[in-house]
């Protein structure tokens, strides 16, 4: 079983949804999402959040100097534990840095076309009470207006970077950097592809077989 997992794919590929499915099957895995950490810092107006804000608003990558330190700190607090790193590395320098500080067992690539991504991202929202993710086109709550996860009346919250212009920049940034990263992990024989064209709803057995290495 993979102990240190990277989850990779364009914005809107379903990394968050897929990660939460993995965590349901393996609750002992720690989910570390650099995007979530930055958003949390931004919400709390920490020095890190304030430094990252402009980059995030434009859909650009936050400088490696900030991001690498954040990841290093997180991994240091998770030594000896199972983890799933989501949103990192985003370029080859970050991949090299990661190799200096830890070892990776599995690189999961979620594959999905640009058309589908656009629909997913522009329709994406979350429940303000518990953070459960929905989509007005592809993943509405079972009962309109009520959160499947916490049962609260949904107060919609949309990520501030889920808008058309920022999305274009985020997709361009992804496409520019993705190929060399995928090649890097393929060469290390860590690459496993997951078809993410449809909303990912995998069974426990399917997830187990993906994480078996
Ligand atoms: P995400 O939720 O992964 O799409 O990340 C949201 C935003 O956080 C990105 O558009 C970047 O501005 C920033 N970010 C997240 N992860 C990284 C990373 N590994 N390197 C640089 N910036 C990042």
Are the CB atoms for 124 and 199 separated by under 8 Å?
no
Are the CB atoms for 128 and 136 separated by under 8 Å?
no
Q: Does residue 130 sit within a domain?
A: no
Q: What's the pTM?
A: 0.85
Q: What is the pLDDT of residue 160?
A: 86
Q: Does residue 86 sit within a domain?
A: yes
Residues involved in catalysis = 15, 90, 124, 159, 170
Cα of 34 from ligand 1 centre, angstroms: 6
Q: Given pLDDT bands bounded at 50, 70 and 90, which one contains residue 213? A: confident
pLDDT tens by residue, 34-62: 999 999 999 999 999 999 999 999 989 99
Least confident of 9-18, 20-29, 48-57, 179-188: 9-18
Q: Quote the percentage of the chain above a pLDDT of 70.
A: 100
Q: Does residue 144 sit within a domain?
A: no
Q: What CATH number should be reported for the domain holding residue 42?
A: 3.40.50.300
- Most ligand 1 atoms within 8 A of CB, residue of 9, 15, 73, 90 to mutate: 90
Q: Does residue 27 sit within a domain?
A: yes
Report whether residue 6 contacts ligand 1, using a CB cutoff of 6 Å.
no
Work out how many domains the chain is built from and give that number. Answer: 1
Mean model confidence pLDDT for the chain: 93
Q: Does residue 146 sit within a domain?
A: no
Q: Given pLDDT bands bounded at 50, 70 and 90, which one contains residue 69? A: very high
The residue segments making up the domain with residue 85 are 4-123+172-210
């Amino acid at each position: 079983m993979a102990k240190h997992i990277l989850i990779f794919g364009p914005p809107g590929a379903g990394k968050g949804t897929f990660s939460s499915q993995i965590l349901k099957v393996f609750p002992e895995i720690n989910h570390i999402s650099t995007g979530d950490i930055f958003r949390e810092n931004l919400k709390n107006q920490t020095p890190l959040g304030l430094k990252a804000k402009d980059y995030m608003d434009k859909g650009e990558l936050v400088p490696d100097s900030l991001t690498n330190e954040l990841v290093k700190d997180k991994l240091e607090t998770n030594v000896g534990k199972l983890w799933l790193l989501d949103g990192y590395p985003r370029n080859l320098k970050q991949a090299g840095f990661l190799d200096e500080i830890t070892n990776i067992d599995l690189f999961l690539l979620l594959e999905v076309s640009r058309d589908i991504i656009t629909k997913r991202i522009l329709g994406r929202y979350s429940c303000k009470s518990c953070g459960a993710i929905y989509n007005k086109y592809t993943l509405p709550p079972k009962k309109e207006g009520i959160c499947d996860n916490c049962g609260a009346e949904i107060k919609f919250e949309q990520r501030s970077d889920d808008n058309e212009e920022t999305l274009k920049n985020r997709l361009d940034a992804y496409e520019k950097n993705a190929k060399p990263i995928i090649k890097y992990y393929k060469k290390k024989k860590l690459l496993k592809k997951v078809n993410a064209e449809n909303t990912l709803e995998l069974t426990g057995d399917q997830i187990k077989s993906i994480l078996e290495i």
